[in-house]
Structure 1
Amino acid sequence: QERIWVGIDAGKGHHWAVAVDADGESVFSTKVINDETQILALVRTAQAKADEIRWAVDISGRASTLLLALLVAHGQHVVYVPGRT
Structure 2
Amino acid sequence: MVIILRFIISALIGVGWLFFSKDPEISLILFIFVFIILSITPKKNKTYEEGDEFQAILKEKTERKLLLEEERLLEKQQSKKNKK
Between 1 and 2, higher relative CO (CA 8 Å, sep ≥ 6) is seen in 1
Shorter chain as denominator, the TM-score bin is under 0.3
Q: So what's the TM-score if we normalise by structure 1?
A: 0.24
Structure 1 or 2: more strand by fraction: 1
Structure number with bigger Rg: 2
Structure 1 or 2: more helix by fraction: 2
